[in-house]
């Protein structure tokens, strides 16, 4: 799929956020429940996150240029960092409102109507979250995956709020409403922390996921059986893109043509098991001691060889 076409999923998320925010705000106004208010506040965060995702998906789809030779795929990480930060802010706001309601309890009104509205909003969020989750996984989009996880957290939050408000209706214990809101705030805070941590790891050029790295090593080990070696294997991921670099060591009496043909096969095999990958290989001689001196990221300075 063209990366630019992913913006249509961001527009879907924006539409869902506007609709569910309106529904949840109506549920709060009908009932006066601080739990339902916390749910509405998280929908506001959903909207801000969806707008940021739209902007960053648009930026990430731009082709490489002179200043960004490797493309703009990392822009998606900024979207997920912001969305995670907004989730944390929403959690704090919900916590403040819940504590205030614990200190000053307030009876809830028209609980049945409020819960029905909230359940409708949750159904919308669930449907959109599943669409975004599938698209994010298929296209390896951290921005869409972040939005999907956020919406799924919203659905779980809404379920907790609905249970809490329903319990108030059954027992008459008004303190259950803010207590549930505090639990919801803690859950949202944890989700925001995990999202920010994942995004920061991406900005720090994390290595490939374990499964992809293992598949990569299996491909390279198959070539080692033919009498060659490899080292200085490095991997990183940047949004949907993957990058792999390594040195391939072959017998010193090989011709340039033969060595080049081997590198072409190795690169093709890597592209077969690692999607969206850019592979950089460097050919070296097994018979030259200098070939074993450049495995570090920064090769130590050495005088020119005769």
Reported as a single tens digit per residue, the pLDDT across 168-186 is 777 777 777 677 777 777 8
Q: Is residue 303 part of a domain?
A: no
| pLDDT reading at 154 higher than 80 | no
The DSSP H or E segment spanning 155 is: helix 142-171
| Residue 58, domain CATH | 1.20.1510.10
Within 10 A of 101 (CB to CB), how many other CB atoms are there? 22
Percent of the chain with pLDDT over 70: 80
**Average pLDDT estimate for 202-225:** 86
Same domain, 195 and 215: no
Res. 234 pLDDT band, cuts 50 70 90: very high
Same domain, 11 and 155: yes
The per-residue pLDDT of the chain, averaged, comes to 78
Classified as helix, coil or strand, 300 is coil
| pLDDT reading at 306 higher than 60 | no
Q: Is residue 298 part of a domain?
A: no
Percent of the chain with pLDDT over 90: 18
Domain boundary among 203, 224, 249: 203
pTM of structure: 0.56
Question: Into how many domains does the chain fold?
Answer: 2
Q: CB neighbours of 197 closer than 8 A, spacing ≥ 6?
A: none
Per-residue confidence (pLDDT) for residue 35, from 0 to 100:
65
Classified as helix, coil or strand, 68 is coil
């Amino acid at each position: 799929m063209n990366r630019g076409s992913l913006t249509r999923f961001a527009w879907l998320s924006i539409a869902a956020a506007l609709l569910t925010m309106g529904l949840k705000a109506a549920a709060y106004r009908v009932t006066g429940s601080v739990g339902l208010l916390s749910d509405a506040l998280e929908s506001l965060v959903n909207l801000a996150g969806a707008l940021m995702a739209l902007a960053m998906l648009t930026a990430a789809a731009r082709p490489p240029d002179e200043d960004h030779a490797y493309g703009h795929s990392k822009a998606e990480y900024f979207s997920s960092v912001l969305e995670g930060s907004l989730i944390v802010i929403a959690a704090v706001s919900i916590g403040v409102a819940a504590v205030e309601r614990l200190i000053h309890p307030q009876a809830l009104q028209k609980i049945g109507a409020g819960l029905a509205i909230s359940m409708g909003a949750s159904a919308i969020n669930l449907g959109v979250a599943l669409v975004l989750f599938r698209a994010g996984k298929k296209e390896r989009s951290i921005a869409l995956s972040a939005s999907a996880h956020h919406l799924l957290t919203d659905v779980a939050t809404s379920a907790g709020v609905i249970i809490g408000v329903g319990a108030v209706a059954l027992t008459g214990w008004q303190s259950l409403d803010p207590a549930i809101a505090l639990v919801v705030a803690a859950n949202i805070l944890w989700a925001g922390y995990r999202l920010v941590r994942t995004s920061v790891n991406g900005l720090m050029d994390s290595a490939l996921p374990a499964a992809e790295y293992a598949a990569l090593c299996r491909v390279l080990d198959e070539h080692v059986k033919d009498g060659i070696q490899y080292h200085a294997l490095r991997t990183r991921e940047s949004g949907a893109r993957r990058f792999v670099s390594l040195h391939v060591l072959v017998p010193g009496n090989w011709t340039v043509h033969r060595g080049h043909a081997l590198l072409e096969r190795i690169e093709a095999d890597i592209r077969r098991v690692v999607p969206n990958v850019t592979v950089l290989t460097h050919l070296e001689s097994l018979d030259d001691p200098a070939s074993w001196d450049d495995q570090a990221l920064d090769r130590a300075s050495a005088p020119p060889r005769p």
